[in-house]
A = this chain, B = another copy of it.
């Protein structure tokens, strides 16, 4: 076996596992199926990843690193973003969610079986919520948005629910599957932006509607 092929085997296994988990759901995929699809022996897979748990955590850690780069650090200052920046941020967020969608399609189940995943997901989710608050407070400071702190609380939680579960919702509801979230992150972005829309002043709301026309057409 060439050295380069040997080096790449764990990456290839992880790629195959990700594709199978995304397509069928992690609880429905065995390590033997992964070995079979990667065209290696179960023993070779075991050499690189001792259990399915190790494989799931390797994929989750790769996902978490990307998400943490997106949601940034713990500075809680209002963010100076406009609606276009926010649209782009959500686009990148839903792109990442789409690439690692196995986490989102069986979230409760995975959180129940992988406590380390649950803890890190929850921390990350709180960080996302904080980022959303910072962005909204930034829009308020720039005079583009109006909302009481009670409204911001409810809005933040609703944004978190829609960000976390839009993909599962889309999968359960869309019988045709031809416009799934992973291929059309902007539909998901629009769904989140429509939560913020009623709190925007009319000029900013028009900007948002223009963005929607541009990205959803």
Contacts and interface: CB of A to CB of B under 8 A. Distances in A.
A162 B161 CA distance: 6
**Within the oligomer, what is the number of copies of this chain?**
2
B154 A194 contact: yes
Interface of A is mostly: helix
A116 to B, nearest CB: 14
A151 B190 CA distance: 11
A4 B132 CA distance: 57
A10 interface: no
A66 interface: no
Give chain A's interface residue range (CB within 8 Å of chain B).
Answer: 35 or more
Interface string A169-191: 10111010000000000000011
21 contacts: A24-B112, A25-B112, A27-B109, A28-B112, A105-B108, A106-B106, A106-B109, A107-B172, A109-B109, A122-B172, A125-B172, A126-B173, A151-B194, A151-B197, A154-B190, A155-B194, A158-B162, A160-B169, A161-B165, A164-B169, A195-B195
